[in-house]
A and B are shown apart, each in its own frame.
Chain A
């Protein structure tokens, strides 16, 4: 294959309606940010799925490494005191 530059990959995030967060919808190819925005609109909101779009070039995303999942995420598993059910209260206490 030639070393010619091809349209890079972009990730598309769409807010379905105000009040909701932007959610990852998928990806697409585009030469620049303007085109990525237009393509995102044409590809991912054909059925009125969105009110706001973010696009970011895929190479700018830093992802955690699944091989480090143990050290990254397991230490949070036993911190039960962060959850309300950890605390014993008498049933008579309402609204807490």
Chain B
């Protein structure tokens, strides 16, 4: 591959949407209300739409005959580059919304910068996606407020979810070698520069939601190097089931 860094860089972006979309897809038919169910599926559909654009582009760059589905479903676990945050399970609706919120705020800031990429395909995908993600951010922020400032029970559940998922937020701002090389070429986004704005935005919403901002300084990382939490293997088992059980077939 003549542009392995770009290829890896695209996977790093796309895998986040793939894994989060997959998690949201698990909920279809099981949401707390019909309306909320429909809304979460919409977010899942947005994310999978983005995923397809990224992987189709990655497939073109790889140029080895692999398709978007090969890239999405036929890698080994160690080759998925998503952050740990997005693979965390739907423990309850508070976890689902907390995960969404903590990712959406990052995702929006990230796409804002990616729009300026010198790579025209990436900037075009960012242009389209940012409208979707802008809505996701509004949706999840609203739910943080409702659950945070709702009942005593909901506040407790929301606080637990935020406290628990907080340790995965720092990784959003780590850079891999591929990231650094893409930043230096004007293609990639320097995520380290998004960190302060991110935590400011998050803190503002949490405060408004009467939630405490976690103080823990201990963070987890590894997703960007393909070292995932134990949840990931099960998620991939489902995602890859058909492609693994029936190799080399068209669907």
A residues touching B (Cβ–Cβ < 8 Å)? 7, 28-31, 34-35, 38-39, 41-43, 46
Contact = CB atoms under 8 A, between A and B. Distances in A.
Contacts of A43: 35, 38
B42 A35 contact: no
Contacts of B135: 41
B33 interface: yes
Contacts of A29: 33-35
Contacts of B34: 29
A28 B35 contact: yes
Given A7-B33, A38-B139, A31 B146 contact: yes
Interface of B: 33-36, 38-39, 42, 135, 138-139, 142, 146
Nearest to A30: B35
24 contacts: A7-B33, A28-B35, A29-B33, A29-B34, A29-B35, A30-B35, A31-B146, A34-B142, A35-B35, A35-B142, A35-B146, A38-B39, A38-B139, A38-B142, A39-B35, A39-B36, A39-B39, A41-B135, A42-B38, A42-B42, A43-B35, A43-B38, A46-B38, A46-B42
Contacts of B38: 39, 42-43, 46
Contacts of B42: 42, 46
Contacts of B142: 34-35, 38
Contacts of A42: 35, 38-39, 42
B215 to A, nearest CB: 30
Nearest to B143: A35
B104 to A, nearest CB: 14
Most buried by B among A29, A31, A38, A43: A38
Contacts of A30: 35
A22 B36 CA distance: 24
Nearest to A42: B39
A19 to B, nearest CB: 23
A30 B35 CA distance: 8
